[in-house]
A = this chain, B = another copy of it.
Amino acid sequence: AQSSVTIYGIIDAAVVATTNQTATGGSKFSMDAGQLLTSRWGIKGSEDLGGGLKANFNLEGTLANDTGTAGAGFGGNVFNQTGNNTSLFDRLSWVGLSGDFGSVTLGRNNILGVDSVGLADPISLAHAGSNPNVMFSALNSGAFFGGFGTNQGGSALRQNNSIKYVSPLMSGFGGALMYGFGEKAGDSTASNYAGLSGFFTDGTNGAALSYAKMKDNANAAFMTGFAGGAKFKVAPSVMLRGTYAQTKVDGNIKIDALPSANGRKIAVIGLGADFSLSDQTTLTAAYYNTKRSGDIDGKADQYIGLAKYAFSKRTTAYASLTYAKAGSVNAQDVSLALGIIGAGNSSAMRTAVGVLHAF
Does the CB pair B1–A312 fall under 8 Å? yes
Does the CB pair A357–B95 fall under 8 Å? yes
Residue picked from A15, A68, A161, A354, most chain B C-beta under 10 Å: A68
The CA-CA distance from A5 to B70 in the complex, in Å, is 19
Which residues in B have their C-beta under 8 angstroms from that of A91?
68
Does the CB pair B108–A89 fall under 8 Å? no
Nearest-neighbour CB distance to chain B for A358, whole angstroms, equals: 9
Which of A25-33, A124-132, A245-253, A322-330 lies at the interface? A25-33
Main secondary structure of the interface of A (DSSP, over half): strand
Least CB separation from A90: chain B residue: B68
Does the CB pair A22–B186 fall under 8 Å? yes
- CB of A335 closer than 8 Å to a CB of B: no
Does the CB pair B359–A45 fall under 8 Å? yes
Encode A298-320 as 1/0 by CB contact (under 8 A) with B: 00000000000001111100000
Which residues in B have their C-beta under 8 angstroms from that of A45?
359
Encode A7-29 as 1/0 by CB contact (under 8 A) with B: 11101111100000110101111
Task: Say which residue of B53, B187, B314 sits within 8 Å of A3 (CB atoms).
Answer: B314
Least CB separation from A24: chain B residue: B186
Which residues in B have their C-beta under 8 angstroms from that of A32?
161
- CB of A217 closer than 8 Å to a CB of B: no
- CB of A197 closer than 8 Å to a CB of B: no
User: Which residues of A (55-93) have their CB < 8 Å from a CB of B?
Assistant: 55-57, 59, 61, 63-71, 73-76, 81, 83-93
- CB of A106 closer than 8 Å to a CB of B: yes
Does the CB pair B106–A355 fall under 8 Å? yes
Does the CB pair A68–B71 fall under 8 Å? yes
Does the CB pair A76–B69 fall under 8 Å? no
Least CB separation from A56: chain B residue: B357
The CA-CA distance from A67 to B75 in the complex, in Å, is 17
Nearest-neighbour CB distance to chain B for A36, whole angstroms, equals: 11
Does the CB pair B67–A160 fall under 8 Å? yes
17 residue pairs bridging A and B, Cβ less than 8 Å apart: A1-B312, A11-B59, A11-B94, A13-B107, A28-B184, A28-B186, A29-B183, A47-B359, A53-B311, A64-B84, A68-B87, A68-B88, A74-B85, A74-B88, A75-B81, A75-B85, A95-B357
Q: Which 9 A-B pairs have the closest CB atoms?
A: A26-B186, A68-B93, A75-B84, A21-B185, A68-B89, A22-B186, A70-B88, A13-B106, A31-B161
